[in-house]
Structure 1
C-alpha cells in the first residue's frame, strides 16, 4: 500500500465524521421541527459546511502524487478536515439537548466559536496549496488569493458581529463561494 492510500484513510474518516454530524443534525432538525424553529441562516450554514466537507475530500486527492510524506506533513494535512469537523459539531446543539428551542438562538450563541474555527480554514488552505509547490499555488490564479482574503476577512467579522443582516449576507456569500469553488475544481 502506498503512503497516500494509507494516510487517506484517516483523512477520509475525519471528513466522514463531519458529514455524518451534518446529516445527523439535519435529521434532528427535521424530527424536531415541531418544537424547535428552523433558522434559514443556520440552514444555509449546514449546507455550506457539507459542501466544504465534500470539496475538502475532493481536493485532498491532489496529494496523491506526494512521495515524501512525513508525520508533520500528514498532521498538517489533517488540520483542514479537523477544522470542518469542529464546525459541523458547533452547528448543532448537543444530541439530546432539549433546552434549545430554536436554531437562531443556538446559531448566535455559538457564532463566535464557529466563525473563529472556520476562519482558520483559509490560512491552512493557503499553506496546504503552497506545500503542493509554488507552481501549483500560482496555477490557482489571483482569484484564489483574493477569494481567500475575502473569505478570511468576512468570517473573522462574522465571529465578531452579531448583526443579523451581516450574518444573512455572509451565509449567502459563502454558499456562492463554495459553489463557485466546486465548479472551478470538479473538472480536476
Structure 2
C-alpha cells in the first residue's frame, strides 16, 4: 500500500499541474477578454482534455489493485501522466506571438496534439492491463473498442484539415466521454 500512496502523490502533482495549466489559461479569457479571442474548436478540445484528466484521475484509483510494484511500472505511469501535461501545454502555449490566434495555432500544432492524444489512449490500454487481467476483462469489449477507435480517429485527425470533421470529432469525443463516465460509474442524471 505504501507504493500506491507514493504513486498517488506523484499522479496528484502532475495532474494537478495539468489542470492548473488548463484552468489558468482558460480564465485568461475572462480576465482579458479583448486580448485573445476564443476559438470554439480549440476550446472544445480544452473541455475534452479537462474531462479526460478528471476521469483519468478517478480511474487511477484502481492502481490499488496492483499488489507488486516494479520500477518499470512506476516509470510507465509517470510517462503516461506526463502525456496529459503535454496535451495541456500544447493547448495553451506560453504566448501566441507567432500566430494569428488560437485557430491558427491549433491547426499548426494539431499533429502534435492528436499524436499525443493517441498515445494517451494506447498508454491507457497498458495502464489498465497493469491493474490485472481480471480487471481488464471486466471492462468488456467497449473499453478496447473505445480506445482503439479513439486512436484511429486521432491518427486520421493528424492528416485531415477539414474543420467540419474536427468539430464533429471534438463533439463526439466530449459527448461520448460524458456518457461513458455516467454509465461506467452508474451516475444518476
Give yes or no for TM over 0.5: yes
**1:106 pairs with 2:105:** yes
In the TM superposition, residue 109 of structure 1 has moved relative to its aligned partner by 1.2
Cα shift at 1:176: 1.3
Q: CA RMSD in A?
A: 1.8
| Mapped contact 1:92–1:106 kept (Cα < 8 A) | no
Q: Structure 1 residues 17 and 89 mapped into 2: Cα distance closer, same or farther (>3 Å)?
A: same
What's the counterpart of residue 172 of structure 1?
Answer: 171
Deviations 1:10-43 (A, max 9, x none): 1111111110110011012333431322111111
CA contact (8 A) 1:3 1:69 kept: yes
Unaligned runs of 5+ in 2: none
The residue number in structure 2 matching 1:68 is 68
Shift in Å at residue 152 of structure 1?
0.7
Shift of 1:98: 4.1
TM-score if structure 2 supplies the norm length?
0.91
- CA change 1:132–1:14 in 2 (3 A) is same
Q: Which residue of 2 aligns with 1:132?
A: 131
Count of equivalent residues: 187
CA distance in 2, matches of 1:179, 1:141: 18
How far does residue 146 in structure 1 lie from its aligned partner after superposition? 1.4
Shift of 1:67: 2.2
In the alignment, structure 1 residue 94 sits paired with structure 2 residue 94: yes
Correspondence for 2:54: 54
CA distance in 2, matches of 1:120, 1:139: 23
So what's the TM-score if we normalise by structure 1?
A: 0.92
Q: Which runs of 5+ in 1 are unaligned?
A: none
1:133-153 Cα distance to aligned partner (Å, 9 max, x none): 222111111111211121111
Moved more, 113-122 or 73-82: 73-82
* More off after superposition, 71-80 vs 14-23: 71-80
Contact 1:122/1:148, CA 8 A, preserved across alignment: yes
Question: What is the CA–CA distance in structure 1 between the aligned matches of 2:78 and 2:60, rounded to whole Å?
Answer: 10
Report the 3-state secondary structure (helix = DSSP H, G, I; strand = E; otherwise coil) of the residue aligned with 1:35: coil
The answer to whether the 8 A contact 1:36-1:100 is kept is no
Partner of 2:11: 11
